[in-house]
Structure 1
Amino acid sequence: MIRTNETIEEFLAQHSADVAEAVRRAAAAEVMPRFRQLAEHEVDQKSGPHDLVTDADRLAEKYLTEALGALLPGSVVVGEEAVHADPATYEAVCGDAPVWIVDPVDGTRQFVNGDDGFCTLVALAQRGVLLASWTYAPARDQLATAIRGQGAFLDGERLISGAPEPGRDLEIATSHPDYTTDEQKRALLGLWTDGVAPRPCGSAGLEYLAVARGELDAIAFSWEAAWDHAAGILLVEEAGGTHLTLTGEPFRVTGDNALPFTAARDEATARRVAGLLSGGV
């Protein structure tokens, strides 16, 4: 628990492992017991057949809201399911209080289908600045972490995104067609060109992890919900990568970004992808 006058940096130095443990416990208590065991009544639609929510999403978010709030009194939690219930809670991302940005099950469709490509995402931010992130893939028992200025790690091993191999097509994960409007599809058309190999994305959090590991060259996404991007943006940054919107500015977790945007394993790749996206608009 944070002490009086303790800074966020001091809190993270003392309690980053406690946050990681809370994320693991939430997944162990509410997510994994339902993995490949979901009953029909535990799965619902939100905005349509491609926008699913499960009891695991709701209960893991409730667990994390309580645990993270107890670790850092005075902080607030912005979770995907809470915002769905009350969109006004999203405004806390722009406020002065430390904010936990939570996606309890990122890749719900994969989770529902029994695929292990899902994760739990937690990021800590304040006044729009990302300070720390945790990306946990419980079915794979992989935990990636990042603290601003201290690097990115996967299961304790430093992540270095590196640069693409010269002459090879850029591998880019893009917004999945099932979640993309016609206008957004047109904006992404710039990636269908020589030297680029685009494919639909899976779990956003795991795609960011792939960029940070140097296994994927870039992502190109057309939506800006903070819970999908906050943890991954910091992970890519701390691994040596960068991110750009169509105006050439970094992606802002507080919103109002020129979309689509990219996060890439190095600056040259980010600029190339951003340029192709601008041509597709």
Structure 2
Amino acid sequence: MLMEKVAEILAEASAEVVVPRFRALTAGEVMEKAPGEVVTVADREAEVIIARRLRELLPVPVVGEEAVSADPALAHALESEPAVWLVDPVDGTSNFIAGRPDFAVMASLVRSGATVAAWIWQPMTATAYAAELGSGAWRNGERLTRTPASARPGDWRGSVKSRFVDPAERDRLRSNAAAFGEVTPGRHAAGVEYPQIADGEQEFIFYWRTLPWDHAPGSLLVTEAGGVSARLDGSTYRPDPPGGEDGLLVAADPATWERTREILLGVRA
């Protein structure tokens, strides 16, 4: 019941305050919340609606992207509370503002520091992804099982998200990435990129900055579909407050994860 209810909450909040503003934002509805970071009234209003309704389902703290922007201390509930909701009301805000359809509404449930349930709603394609720890991953109710990638890196398609990486390391990553078949800068929305791994559209993604509301939902989706989402040292990804550990590699299967790390970082198991 919880899985269905949360999916309904995301879709309904999106229909109420997000989709009506797609390609209809006014100048006063887009604000800068930090240097280089923008927010819209749709982000803020959707988070309020989603947070209220999630607390009605399960009365635990809600760590929302916009609430944490206003009060960073809220994110420490991820470390101090036994259970926490994570909310990203509009993932891919820059796409949303630009009128590009690559954005999503996301939530996840974290217990004792581990993501146990996740939801991704892509409004413009009416596509719902969900995952539950130990139970599997689904797209619009259909079970997802990721087919292992080819053994040849030259066949692989992936993304290297290096915006926040040190410039020298960024150059090295880009140079090493030439070994792969196709490398893109990504879709600028984790709620679109992670499903591409689960759906078999690409083989890997390298991330550096890992804000918890961006990565908890997709990481669980990929791992429950049979893929891997792990820190660069191979340790299991766990959502932590902003400012924690950087670096995350997501891949179609364990062998692809190891080979991608070896190529990109020059690290052998």
Q: TM-score, with normalisation over the residues of structure 2?
A: 0.91
1:76-126 Cα offsets, whole Å, 9 max, x none, are 111111111111011011123311111110011111111111001101011
Q: Which moved more, 1:252-261 or 1:226-235?
A: 252-261
| Deviation of the 1:72 alpha carbon | 0.4
The CA distance in 1 between the partners of 2:53 and 2:166, in whole Å, is: 37
Aligned 8 A contact 2:162 2:208 in 1: no
Q: TM-score, with normalisation over the residues of structure 1?
A: 0.88
The CA distance in 1 between the partners of 2:120 and 2:65, in whole Å, is: 15
Give the partner amino acid of 2:248.
Answer: F
Aligned 8 A contact 2:216 2:238 in 1: no
Aligned 8 A contact 2:44 2:66 in 1: yes
Give the partner amino acid of 1:278.
Answer: L
| Deviation of the 1:185 alpha carbon | 2.1
Does residue 145 in structure 1 map to residue 120 in structure 2? no
Does residue 245 in structure 1 map to residue 231 in structure 2? yes
1:104-153 Cα offsets, whole Å, 9 max, x none, are 10011111111111001101011111111000001111000111111100
Does residue 231 in structure 1 map to residue 220 in structure 2? no
Partner-residue secondary structure (3-state), 1:103:
strand
| Deviation of the 1:31 alpha carbon | 0.4
Give the partner amino acid of 2:68.
Answer: V
Partner of 2:254: 267
| Deviation of the 1:176 alpha carbon | 5.8
The CA distance in 2 between the partners of 1:67 and 1:204, in whole Å, is: 23
Partner-residue secondary structure (3-state), 1:240:
coil
Identity of aligned residues (%): 36
Aligned 8 A contact 2:157 2:180 in 1: no
The CA distance in 2 between the partners of 1:103 and 1:263, in whole Å, is: 20
The CA distance in 2 between the partners of 1:245 and 1:208, in whole Å, is: 15
Q: Which residue, 174, 182, 189 being the options, matches 2:160? A: 174
1:231-274 Cα offsets, whole Å, 9 max, x none, are 00000011000122221212221268654220111001111122
Q: How does 1:100-249 map to 2 (within 5 A)?
A: 100-167=85-152, 168-175=154-161, 177=163, 182=167, 185-186=170-171, 188-189=173-174, 191-202=176-187, 203-249=189-235
Gaps of 5+ in 2: none
Give the partner amino acid of 1:59.
Answer: E
The size of the alignment, in residue pairs, is 264
Gaps of 5+ in 1: 1-13
